[in-house]
A and B are shown apart, each in its own frame.
Chain A
Amino acid sequence: MSILVGSPGILTTFQDLGRRGYQHLGIGPSGVMDEVSHRVANLLVGNPAETATMEITLAGPVLHFETDLMIALCGGDLSPEIEGQPVPQWRPVMVRGGSRLAFGKPIKGSRCYLAVDGGFRIPSVMKSASTHLAAGFGGFHGRPLRSGDRLETGPSPRDQYPALQLRFNRERRPFLGADWLASWFREVDFARPSALRAIQGPQWSSLTTDSRARFLEDTFRVTSNSDRMGFRLQGPKLSLKQPMEMLSSGVATGTIQLPPDGSPILLMADRQTTGGYPRLGELASVDIPKAAQLRPGDTLRFMIISLEEAQDLYLSREARFRELEQILADRRNR
């Protein structure tokens, strides 16, 4: 089963849930920016959560489907279309061989995930299919997709959603989506400014009282100097009570660093493994997908919550994934 890449889009890479077990060697986790959209897309087509998806950024690629394939698209609305017709997201979609999937204007959010039934055939490097862009390994030859790339997928469609497949085989349309959708997780709030929950970091108390107030009350803007490694934020300049020389130490995805210029940096998937800047706070894991959908120019605000609350939110989200998994396991038979 093949997909041929026409134009590659601005930044299209293969990612999974990240490379684990190698951070002590300076090898960052990479992985999807928006874990929720990735996981739902995989669940919809019956793939295990760790199957690589195609992460599509802002201006998406043109993909030629050589054979019939079942797919799911989840994430921001980047205007996916086949033959001028919008392709529905957050549900399984049958696509006919010979079709051309293209993306138009990004309407909401910045990243969208394409999962295919049976998964993309991406070799594992250090137990992960994620692309490490800086070091050039993993994913599809360690790089973003280019024109002419040929992508192999597992056999599709597998024995699932029989009613959908039956209708698809009867009708002559280039694609057919299920008439329901996994709406639970489509709640990423695209209102701006985006409110991101964070917990206090190890150097939170080193901020001046005024800076702490600014951090909580003011609005920040994502500058164009932002990418998968992290977002440079523009807003009130924050300062420490006194200058700190910090030793390099571990950081996490979602860590909010404060460099000497006073403008915070929000670390994302392609972050380095260690850093020497003060850590003001860390995003609650459940709000990292929300941050992942921000575009340069978007505004955001921070809200401090407790660690307990953050972990409760995380555990509730995991429980909801388990529920969704069960619901879909049942739907796949219909």
Chain B
Amino acid sequence: MAINSSIPAGDSIFRAESLGDRALLITLGDRIDPCLNDRVHQLASLIRNSGLPGVHDLVPAYATITVHYDPSAWTGASTRPQEALKSELIRLWQNARTEALPAPRLVEIPVCYGDEFGPDLGEVAERCKLSEHEIIARHTAGEYRVYMLGFAPGFAYLGGLDPSIAAPRRETPRLKVPTGSVGIAGMQTGIYPLDIPGGWQIIGRTPRRLFKPSLEEPCLLQPGDRLRFVPMDVDTFHAWVEDHP
């Protein structure tokens, strides 16, 4: 019986194709969509908990999951390694549709907005024709979704920015944006987990560490999390930093 790697079922698709000889790319859709992304995280969770042999990394993204595996763990069956793994994944996906979604975690990110921590807050306010106060209010009103992590350790691709506070990237990127900086770039908002160059409009800074390699769980955020920004004042910011070396 041929293994069907592309299974439409109603409006949900499942396509599995090779990404080289040690990875499989599973595609569940083609857009940025919260429900689709929920299914991505649900399937990733199922795969992780299934203990499939030789699978050492799962990378969920907006609409895909990349499964990194060792082909040596999938020999011995009458089918080739990738076909054997694919059928297991299809089976998991078919079960997924009857399983409840795991409850997402909600992470609160305290942010000190403006002044030295948010040098671009004024510019964003001007572009959006709102007061700085309004920008902060709208930024903290929303609940954001962590669609995926990528680009740098602990860097979250967030969805849910209020379109009225979207602002284009800076014309000249900064050579170094301090760790913890909270920024806006187009319809994206995010937090810099490291000191890296960047062109985002920086509106504030969080004292929370997004990434600490020595920790058991090195990243504060995980794919599928929900996030809220909470305003904090400068004194609280400095107190926090002192309390959490």
Chain A residues in the interface with B (C-beta under 8 A): 20-27, 29, 125-126, 132, 134-135, 137-138, 199, 201-202, 247-252, 254-255, 272-274, 279, 282-285, 307-308, 310-311, 314-315, 318
B59–A274 touching, CB < 8 Å: yes
**A125 is contacted by which of B56, B58, B213 (Cβ under 8 Å)?**
B213
A135–B211 touching, CB < 8 Å: yes
Q: A138 — which chain B residues lie within 8 A by C-beta? A: 213
Complex CA distance for A126 and B56, rounded to whole angstroms: 13
Q: Tell whether B242 is near chain A: CB-to-CB under 8 Å.
A: no
Q: A20 — which chain B residues lie within 8 A by C-beta? A: 56-57, 68
A250–B59 touching, CB < 8 Å: yes
Taking CB as reference atom, which chain A residue is nearest B65? A250
A-facing mask of B30-44, CB < 8 A → 1, else 0? 111000000000001
B57–A24 touching, CB < 8 Å: yes
A250–B66 touching, CB < 8 Å: yes
Complex CA distance for A252 and B21, rounded to whole angstroms: 10
A202–B19 touching, CB < 8 Å: yes
List 20 contacting pairs A-B, 8 Å CB cutoff, sorted by A.
Answer: A24-B59, A25-B153, A25-B154, A27-B154, A125-B213, A132-B153, A135-B152, A202-B25, A247-B32, A247-B64, A249-B25, A250-B66, A255-B19, A272-B152, A273-B150, A274-B59, A311-B21, A311-B81, A314-B71, A315-B81
What is the distance, in angstroms, from B194's C-beta to the closest C-beta of chain A? 6
A252–B153 touching, CB < 8 Å: no
A26–B213 touching, CB < 8 Å: no
Which residues of B196-213 have CB atoms within 8 Å of chain A's CB atoms?
Answer: 211, 213
> When A20-B57, A24-B58 are in contact, do A279 and B19 touch as well, CB less than 8 Å?
yes
What is the distance, in angstroms, from A181's C-beta to the closest C-beta of chain B? 27
> When A21-B56, A135-B194, A138-B213 are in contact, do A250 and B72 touch as well, CB less than 8 Å?
no
Complex CA distance for A169 and B41, rounded to whole angstroms: 61
What is the distance, in angstroms, from A292's C-beta to the closest C-beta of chain B? 15
Pick from B134-142, B168-176, B215-223 the stretch touching chain A.
Answer: B215-223
Complex CA distance for A279 and B23, rounded to whole angstroms: 13
Complex CA distance for A112 and B219, rounded to whole angstroms: 33
Q: A273 — which chain B residues lie within 8 A by C-beta? A: 59, 149-150
Q: Tell whether B18 is near chain A: CB-to-CB under 8 Å.
A: yes
What is the distance, in angstroms, from B127's C-beta to the closest C-beta of chain A? 24
What is the distance, in angstroms, from B154's C-beta to the closest C-beta of chain A? 6
Which residues of B1-26 have CB atoms within 8 Å of chain A's CB atoms?
Answer: 17-23, 25
A24–B149 touching, CB < 8 Å: yes
Q: B19 — which chain A residues lie within 8 A by C-beta? A: 201-202, 250-252, 255, 279, 282
Complex CA distance for A34 and B63, rounded to whole angstroms: 32
Q: B72 — which chain A residues lie within 8 A by C-beta? A: 314-315, 318
Taking CB as reference atom, which chain B residue is nearest A28? B153
Chain B residues in the interface with A (C-beta under 8 A): 17-23, 25, 30-32, 44, 56-66, 68, 71-72, 75, 80-82, 148-155, 157, 193-194, 211, 213-214, 218-219, 222-223
Taking CB as reference atom, which chain B residue is nearest A25? B219
> When A20-B56, A25-B222 are in contact, do A125 and B80 touch as well, CB less than 8 Å?
no
A283–B20 touching, CB < 8 Å: yes
B218–A27 touching, CB < 8 Å: yes
A307–B213 touching, CB < 8 Å: no
A135–B153 touching, CB < 8 Å: yes
Taking CB as reference atom, which chain A residue is nearest B82? A307
Q: B80 — which chain A residues lie within 8 A by C-beta? A: 308, 311
9 closest A-B pairs by CB: A250-B66, A282-B20, A274-B150, A250-B59, A310-B21, A137-B213, A26-B149, A23-B57, A20-B56
Tell me which of B17, B68, B223 has the highest count of chain A C-beta atoms within 10 A of its own C-beta: B68
**A249 is contacted by which of B61, B75, B153, B155 (Cβ under 8 Å)?**
B61
Starting from the known contacts A23-B59, A134-B194, A284-B20, 10 additional A-B residue pairs (CB-CB under 8 Å) come to A21-B56, A24-B44, A26-B155, A138-B213, A202-B19, A248-B148, A250-B19, A250-B23, A250-B64, A311-B71
